[in-house]
Structure 1
Amino acid sequence: MAVDRVRWGILATGGIAAAFTADLVDLPDAEVVAVASRTDASAKAFAERFGIPRAYGDWASLAEDADVDVVYVATPHSAHRAAAGMCLEAGRHVLCEKAFTLNSREAEELVALARRHDRFLMEAMWTYCNPLIRRLKALVEDGAVGEVRTVQADFGIAGHLLPGARNGTLPPSHRLRDPAQGGGALLDLGVYPVSFAQLLLGEPSDVVARAVLSDEGIDLQTGAVLSFESGALASVHCSLTGGTPTAASVTGSEGRIDVPDGFFFADRFVLHRDGRDPEEFTADPAHGPRNSLKHEAAEVMRALRAGETESPLVPLDGTLAVMRTLDAIRDRIGVRYPSETN
């Protein structure tokens, strides 16, 4: 690996890939050296947009590029297993978008591959790398609210306002409604509330869930209650049918923390300790805009320089635990993807 600069490859050319690549510009020790897409035209257009020297019209060429230290996999999650697996087997380190895979079986396969090849692998759960969420977690662990009793989090969007919507609704061909692409609210949006709850409480011992399904069999909105051995409960909700506050709260025996909006890229939260005035915590402006993806990129580069094969902020066992919970929720609501029926 390059000593002074970490050389990145970008696999896929959609919106999240563009946002991540743009944020890498703010990191002086990062260099984007290659991009890959399924077509030459898409890869070349992306390369021209960001000044990337090499563009590949296939994934394998990027995976085999020895000048790439780490690959950011930004495909739809239905392709994460294939794309990340190809890169790991070729000797590349990998940062893979969320949801990490379609299911826990695929996630376990990727983790096993990374460990077999001694490669770094991390889920791109930017929430865990957000400095303010790290501060919130530290406060909870230090007992700021006492013993955690409940966690609540939601993430809902107005699907009819998304690009590609027609006549006020998402068409069945849209990625978010296509079962073959892992469509539905849960893997795109629900992964955030579930991950937030498990960041603070660990893996649940029981899951209860209900959902509204589309004609294609994907979840349009889902609510779940997660139970934990400690006696704590988490209430999580996700939706493609309407915009929700995207708020989160953590209630303990001695207080509460409220993240009022956009909890997954929080820039402020309020700590309410019993018998004391509320305390507001805000993001340091030096850390950049609230929607910056650079924190997860910086964590990847820190870990690579330290010779680590996984991040303590986003540990692989935690990613596997989240995927097991998402599997359990899908089991309760009756959602299966075509690749899982064989």
Structure 2
Amino acid sequence: MTRWGILATGYIAGRFAEDLRFVPGAELVAVGSRTRESAELFAQRHGASRAYASWAELAADPEVDVVYVATPHAAHHEATMACLAGGKAVLVEKPCTLDLASSTELIETARARGLFLMEAMWMRTNPLILRVLELIADGAIGEVTHVRADFGAAGPFPPEHRMRARTLGGGALLDLGIYPLSLAHLLLGVPQHVRAWARISPELVDENTGIVLGWNSGAVATLSCGMIGATAVTAAITGTTGRIDLPEPFYRPAAAVLHRAGAEPETIAADLTGGGYQYEAIEVQRCLAAGLIESPLVPHSATLEVMALLDDIRARIGVSYA
């Protein structure tokens, strides 16, 4: 049995707690928050036996094996460091932190202490996404030449919302843009060429952002994210002999459509359960059982490479969280 703690009590924390029901050998035993009332309400709602009024108390619980950090991303570094200091394995919600330097510190700390750490980029553990990767590796669409993906939310987000707060790492890029970027990186690796433009809000965060990536192989990616209009939230992966379309939401699709030259489109369905968070929890438990300190599906290198891309793009569009 893997004993889970959840740090934070917001929407995503609740979704993760619900999906733990679909994870064999998982038990939610504790929750930590900055207020006892919030922790106790969450524990009652999701069946945790213990509720703590501080992150440190949760991290010190000897009956917790791994903690899922579900705070807003501006607090990821502090919360994860607290859990690592308590000797806990950690699954930290994406993005790992606000910048490359702080993500590097977390990973180096976890490695030095021999503790498991994984960014909760659930797309990389999704069974259908993994099946798409297998198809591409087997040559189903030839060499990948183009990745297109978008993630735009309708809003409107009021000025006081965290999405508009620069001090909280607000803006579309880290919250939404990380998905198109991660898909392109998953398929093609680190690009050699980066271009980006954004409309900046009065709060100095990005509202609408376009990104073009290029690889020396000749492949390109055209990506966008925004918080001023609901986009299709779809993706298309084009190769020299075909294309794979990922419908809404592309980061957690129910099916993929394979188009090959001279053949009828083929729908590849996935028998998915729950909300999708369970697959990252299953991967964490698999790694812990194997004595690993990082996941081969969500390796530390991928977290750092995508974080470096996010830093690069923020510099190009003029968004700083300092």
Length-normalised TM-score, structure 1 = 0.93
Q: Which runs of 4+ in 1 moved over 6 A?
A: none
Structure 1, unaligned stretches of length 5 or more? Answer: 161-169
Structure 2, unaligned stretches of length 5 or more? Answer: none
1:319 match: 303
Contact 1:32 1:52 in 2 (8 A): yes
- Partner SS state of residue 263, structure 1: coil
Distance 2:228 2:25 in 1: 41
What is the deviation of 1:28? 3.5
1:137 match: 133
1:9 match: 5
Q: Deviations over 1:117-144 (max 9, x none)?
A: 0011111111111100000011112211
Is structure 2 residue 163 aligned with structure 1 residue 176? yes
Distance 1:314 1:239 in 2: 25
Within-5 A mapping of 1:72-83: 72-83=68-79
Is structure 2 residue 283 aligned with structure 1 residue 299? yes
Distance 2:216 2:191 in 1: 7
Distance 1:292 1:136 in 2: 16
- In the alignment of these two chains, the number of paired residues is 322
What is the deviation of 1:48? 1.1
- Partner SS state of residue 251, structure 2: helix
Distance 1:336 1:199 in 2: 26
2:319 match: 335
Distance 2:217 2:99 in 1: 26
Residue 61 of structure 1 is aligned with which of 49, 57, 74?
57
Q: Deviations over 1:193-219 (max 9, x none)?
A: 000110100011121000011001000
Contact 1:220 1:240 in 2 (8 A): yes
Contact 1:89 1:113 in 2 (8 A): no
AA partner of residue 18 (structure 2): A
2:230 match: 243
2:110 match: 114
What is the deviation of 1:71? 0.3
Contact 2:22 2:273 in 1 (8 A): no
Residue 258 of structure 2 is aligned with which of 262, 271, 288?
271
Within-5 A mapping of 1:273-288: 273-284=260-271, 287-288=272-273
Distance 1:228 1:326 in 2: 17
- Partner SS state of residue 148, structure 2: strand
Q: Deviations over 1:88-124 (max 9, x none)?
A: 1221000000111101111101110110000111111
Q: Deviations over 1:205-245 (max 9, x none)?
A: 12100001100100011110011122211111011001111
What is the deviation of 1:292? 2.2
- Partner SS state of residue 90, structure 2: strand
**Percent of aligned pairs sharing the same letter:** 54
Distance 2:13 2:294 in 1: 22
Length-normalised TM-score, structure 2 = 0.98
1:198 match: 185
Distance 1:103 1:190 in 2: 14
1:94 match: 90
What is the deviation of 1:324? 0.6
What is the deviation of 1:171? 2.0
Residue 34 of structure 2 is aligned with which of 33, 38, 45?
38
Is structure 2 residue 151 aligned with structure 1 residue 151? no
Contact 1:17 1:74 in 2 (8 A): yes
What is the deviation of 1:13? 0.2
AA partner of residue 37 (structure 1): S
- Partner SS state of residue 292, structure 2: coil
Q: Deviations over 1:49-108 (max 9, x none)?
A: 112111111101111111110000000100101111111122100000011110111110
